[in-house]
Structure 1
Amino acid sequence: MYSSLSAFAVALVVSSVAFARPGDASLFKRASISPIMGGQNFPDPAITRTGDGWHAFSTNAKISGKLIHVPMAHSADFKTWTYRSGVDALPKLAAWIDPKSPRVWAPDVSQLPDGSFIMYYTAALKKNTALHCVGYATSASIAGPYTDPSGSSTWICPTAQGGAIDPSGYVNADGTRWVVYKHDGNAIGHGGSCGNTVKPIVTTPLMLQQVNAKDGHTKIGNPIQMITNGPLDGPYVEAPSLSKLGGKFVLFFSSNCFATTKYDVSYAIASNIKGPYVKYGPLFVTGTDGMTAPGGLDIASNGNHAIWHAYVNATHTPKQCLSKHGKGKTNGDADECYRNHGSGRAAFTAVLSLKGNVVSANTLS
């Protein structure tokens, strides 16, 4: 999660991929596409569009020995991206976050009606460092710096359910504002792949929370469960992102353990924002366009432009990583192959569309 990447030297092709149901291996594309920014490590990416183009944010990384909590990138046209090396959108941490190992993951930025911006993000809980919770921070500028006003109080933190991660904002056509996130049940799982394939399996539901349309954080009502992990999902479902395509609400998510080649991007569809959601997909799996373990897709709010990550330049298989580092073991903030398959996770982009109940992704040259 903390490594820099060498260039991903593959030919870029313009392609379209579509998957209808899990297990449709015959539909895998074997051609390769190139990641953006030459393969720069940029995991759990999210995108927001403003008047000057597209802005992307990612999980924390070490740059020149310094831990950057929220790295950033920019593109004027969604094709050519510039990594803002060393720039931190969230330079100061809230008091509720573990200062020794903050693990700021999966930020997502939305614009508010007054023109300011709100960032939803995940970080390690100081009172229980094994768990993550969700916070929010605001800024007058898309580029930050963002400030979390909560002090020692978390925003979404269901510790009995394992905490919460992977927040993502959505603004509906009727003006209502929502946040989707994951109950991180595998954090209190009983072992196995990503901590949650030994029975009894802990649920990892993806939740929908309405928030005040103006401030983006005052909660309205109780959260609603959208989907949860089933037998085909491995240890969890995670990384939710919501949009509307083809007149339907489409919830993108990843399933199976991120440290294995089973990790994927899938989706669920509903005719009402509150559901019920029916699982379809996958959209991307290992082998699609030459990617390995694609996941963490984010789609622009009220749009069809998407960004996600996949491992590149893998030097170890997941099994070799476990042998080298030990199950679930990390190496502080250093690069280690259990998380990164040797070189990290690069970002990829595409424009998505829905026909029937099948999502297609068209990559850009």
Structure 2
Amino acid sequence: MLPLLFVSLSLPLLTSAKTPKSPLLQTDFPDPCIIHHPTNNTYYAFATSSNQKNIQAASAPSASGPWTWLSSVDPLPDPGPWTSGPRNYGMTWAPSVISLPDSSGWVMYYSAQLPANSSAFHCVGAAVSKMSILGPYEPLPSPLACPLSKGGAIDPSGFFDPQTGKRYLVYKVDGNSLGNGGSCGNTIAPLRNTPIMLQRVNETDGVTLIGEPVEILDRDERDGPLVEAPDLWWDGKRHVLFYSNHCWSEEGYSVNYAVSTDGVEGEYVKMNGTNGGERALVMTEGIGDGFNLSAPGGATSFWDEEKGESGIVLHANCREGRCLFGVGIGVDEDGRVYVD
């Protein structure tokens, strides 16, 4: 996603029932990311493989829509030689697109299934497009993160840190792929860790790794089998890590957040859902105050140029599968993130 400049909001925490949300896009569009193209003033969204695409794409004149699914576009026609191949639809997940400096191109991070005997695992790769935000993206010959002994890696997200001018890649180590069964493969003891990792990358090319990855969050017993779908947001004072917990196929799946006041690599403290009984940021209606959504997750933050506000896009269950939704985000006087 594009580097974000936050305009501080100081508004009361919203505690009343939230207005039900309608899909921004009425099609199966899981694990979305969103990016604004400043030249043509168009928003683009990318999503997990579905509808006979390795990666899906949609466009809109504003972050709130109307969104159009781009039926003729597959931004990643080949996920790369290290994957199970271009025709294995459904196995390329959770894209995150960033723009490179000086309009020199775009990078797409994604997770893809490994081939043959390693097909139980995914790893995180990257692909580059120099000509168009819609690609075609050319994959790197090998993955960026592939900790197979720990279960592989999924759910990458790019982040430019306005505090330091450094660029990062954040992802989940897919420990539950090695689990002993149960919900999302990881509720039968001994349970596996599913840490969220932060990897610095080169500011100019977005793909050259700098140093070793740093663990910034992990599941605990109140998260259920996993934490995943990480996304970093700078709220003007702190680094906020959005993440999902519980199992994606169940109603307990939700959007949560943790906060670091000690830099992007600092200690992240879980602020809701699993901390002190506060409700998740976005959760299934009926369990909590959730916009009439079911199993919401996979949130990615963005800056709405038109409204001058921050928001998140996410997916939730719908008739077609998992549809695209959007909500606004802000920070109240007590420093809590809220959604609207």
Would you say same fold, with TM above 0.5? yes
User: Does structure 1 residue 71 correspond to structure 2 residue 73?
Assistant: no
Deviation per residue, 1:257-304 (Å, 9 max, x gap) = 011100000000011111100001210010111000000001137982
- The two structures have a TM-score, normalised by structure 2, of 0.85
Q: Answer yes or no: is the 8 Å Cα contact 1:204–1:229 preserved in 2.
A: yes
Aligned-residue sequence identity (percent) comes to 39
Q: Answer yes or no: is the 8 Å Cα contact 2:173–2:197 preserved in 1.
A: yes
Tell me the distance in 1 between the aligned counterparts of 2:100 and 2:270. 31
Structure 2, unaligned runs of 5 or more: 1-10, 273-279
Which runs of structure 2 are paired with 1:7-18 in the superposition (5 Å)? none
Tell me the distance in 1 between the aligned counterparts of 2:55 and 2:303. 20
Paired position in structure 2 for 1:47 = 34
Paired position in structure 2 for 1:110 = 98
What is the Cα deviation at residue 171 of structure 1?
0.4
Residue 35 of structure 1 is aligned with which of 23, 34, 40? 23
Which runs of structure 2 are paired with 1:68-217 in the superposition (5 Å)? 68-80=53-65, 81-99=67-85, 101=88, 103-115=91-103, 116-127=105-116, 128-140=118-130, 141-150=132-141, 153-173=142-162, 174-217=164-207
User: Does structure 1 residue 310 correspond to structure 2 residue 316?
Assistant: yes
Deviation per residue, 1:99-151 (Å, 9 max, x gap) = 2636000000000113110000000011500000000000021111101031x
Q: Which moved more, 1:166-175 or 1:92-101?
A: 92-101
Tell me the distance in 2 between the aligned counterparts of 1:17 and 1:68. 42
What is the Cα deviation at residue 242 of structure 1?
0.3
Tell me the distance in 2 between the aligned counterparts of 1:345 and 1:170. 25
Q: Secondary structure at the match of 1:36?
A: coil
Paired position in structure 1 for 2:265 = 274
User: Does structure 1 residue 225 correspond to structure 2 residue 203?
Assistant: no
Deviation per residue, 1:200-228 (Å, 9 max, x gap) = 00000000000010010111111111110
Displaced runs of 4 or more, over 2 A: 16-19, 27-31, 99-102, 300-305
Q: Answer yes or no: is the 8 Å Cα contact 1:117–1:142 preserved in 2.
A: yes
Q: Secondary structure at the match of 1:213?
A: coil
Deviation per residue, 1:171-206 (Å, 9 max, x gap) = 011210001000000000011100000010000000
What is the Cα deviation at residue 17 of structure 1?
10
- The two structures have a TM-score, normalised by structure 1, of 0.80
What is the Cα deviation at residue 28 of structure 1?
7.7
Tell me the distance in 1 between the aligned counterparts of 2:303 and 2:264. 14
Tell me the distance in 2 between the aligned counterparts of 1:43 and 1:68. 12
Aligned length in residues: 304
Q: Answer yes or no: is the 8 Å Cα contact 1:280–1:357 preserved in 2.
A: no
Tell me the distance in 2 between the aligned counterparts of 1:114 and 1:240. 27
Tell me the distance in 2 between the aligned counterparts of 1:119 and 1:18. 35
Tell me the distance in 1 between the aligned counterparts of 2:120 and 2:303. 31
Higher share of residues assigned helix: 1
Q: Secondary structure at the match of 1:283?
A: coil
Q: Secondary structure at the match of 1:232?
A: helix
Q: Secondary structure at the match of 2:144?
A: coil
Tell me the distance in 2 between the aligned counterparts of 1:284 and 1:247. 22
Q: Answer yes or no: is the 8 Å Cα contact 2:79–2:112 preserved in 1.
A: no
Q: 1:91 to 1:286 in 2, by over 3 A?
A: same
Q: Answer yes or no: is the 8 Å Cα contact 2:73–2:134 preserved in 1.
A: no
What is the Cα deviation at residue 29 of structure 1?
3.3
Query: Quick one: which amino acid aligns to residue 345 of structure 1?
Result: R
Tell me the distance in 1 between the aligned counterparts of 2:244 and 2:12. 17
Q: 1:40 to 1:191 in 2, by over 3 A?
A: same
Structure 1, unaligned runs of 5 or more: 1-15, 20-26, 314-342
